[in-house]
């Protein structure tokens, strides 16, 4: 039984299933031009995988990513189900076939907040404790 338990832990670790989803650690923010006050997980995933360029209310949106760090990792795990490397590969497959542009990447919550505040249609994320000025927080449906 102990062996079986160890085996299950090893398998779970190999498939990246050991950490719980950490959506609560992340806050989704948007430029004030985005009319919606909330967004579904499916819509958010579509926006960040470049299959969705507008929300159901008609607002044009474009994703903004952090370059790395705990908030970035938590966002990817909670909403996209991809590692940073896998997301990079995904975007490059779009860029080098002409299907999308590489999204803007920023180095910190402060940079993210400032960029989203001034960029029409921008959607990004910051750590739950951050309160950047001039942006709206989108509730998750």
Partner 1 sequence: MKVQTIILAAALYLAPGLLNAQFDFKVGERDIQIHSFAAQGFAYSNDNNYLTMDTSHGSFAMTDGGVNIATSITDKFRVGAQVYDRNIGQLGRGTASLDWAFGDYKFKDWFGIRAGKVKTALGLLNDTQDMEFLHTWAILPQSLYPLDLRSNTIAHTGVDVYGNISLAKAGSLGYTAYYGARAIDTHSGIYFAAADAGNPIVTMSGKTAGADLRWNTPIQGLMLGGSWSKQTEDFVVTVSTYGNIPLSGTFTPQHSTSVYGDFARGRWHFNGEFRKNREILEASLFGVPSVSNLGDKGLFLTAAYRVTKYLELGTYNSRYYVDAPTDLRPQANHIFDQTVTARFDINKWWNVKIEGHFINGFGDTYSAHGFYTRNNPDGLKPTTNIFVIRTGYNL
List of residues contacting partner 1 (CB under 8 A): 13-17, 42, 46, 51-54, 60, 81-82, 85-86, 88-89, 92-93, 95-99, 101-102, 121
Q: How do 62-66 and 122-127 pair as beta strands? A: parallel
Name which of 104 and 136 has its Cβ closer to partner 1: 104
Q: What are phi and psi of 108, to 5 degrees?
A: -160, 170
Name which of 1 and 57 has its Cβ closer to partner 1: 57
Given a contact cutoff of 8 angstroms between Cβ atoms, the answer to whether 63 and 103 are in contact is yes
Q: How far is the CB of 130 from partner 1 (least distance, A)?
A: 25
Angstrom distances, CA of residue 98 to CA of 6, 88, 91, 121 = 46, 15, 11, 21
Q: How far is the CB of 81 from partner 1 (least distance, A)?
A: 5
What is the C-alpha radius of gyration for the chain, rounded to an integer number of angstroms?
17
Q: How far is the CB of 25 from partner 1 (least distance, A)?
A: 19
Q: How far is the CB of 121 from partner 1 (least distance, A)?
A: 7
Name which of 73 and 137 has its Cβ closer to partner 1: 73
Q: CA-CA distance, 43 to 2, in Å (whole number)?
A: 42
Name which of 94 and 130 has its Cβ closer to partner 1: 94
Q: How far is the CB of 30 from partner 1 (least distance, A)?
A: 15
Q: Strand, helix or coil at 48?
A: helix
Q: Strand, helix or coil at 119?
A: coil
Name which of 14 and 133 has its Cβ closer to partner 1: 14
């Amino acid at each position: 039984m102990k062996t079986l338990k160890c085996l299950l832990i090893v398998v779970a670790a190999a498939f990246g299933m050991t950490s719980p989803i950490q959506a609560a650690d992340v806050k989704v923010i948007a430029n004030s031009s985005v009319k919606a006050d909330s967004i579904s997980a499916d819509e958010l995933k579509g926006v960040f995988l470049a299959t969705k360029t507008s929300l159901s209310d008609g607002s044009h949106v474009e994703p903004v990513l952090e370059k790395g760090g705990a908030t970035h990792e938590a966002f990817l795990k909670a909403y996209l189900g991809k590692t940073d490397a896998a997301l990079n590969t995904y975007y490059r497959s779009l860029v080098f076939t002409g299907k999308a542009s590489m999204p803007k990447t920023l180095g910190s919550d402060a940079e993210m907040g400032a960029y989203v505040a001034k960029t029409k249609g921008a959607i990004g994320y910051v750590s739950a404790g951050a309160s950047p000025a001039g942006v709206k927080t989108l509730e998750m449906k």
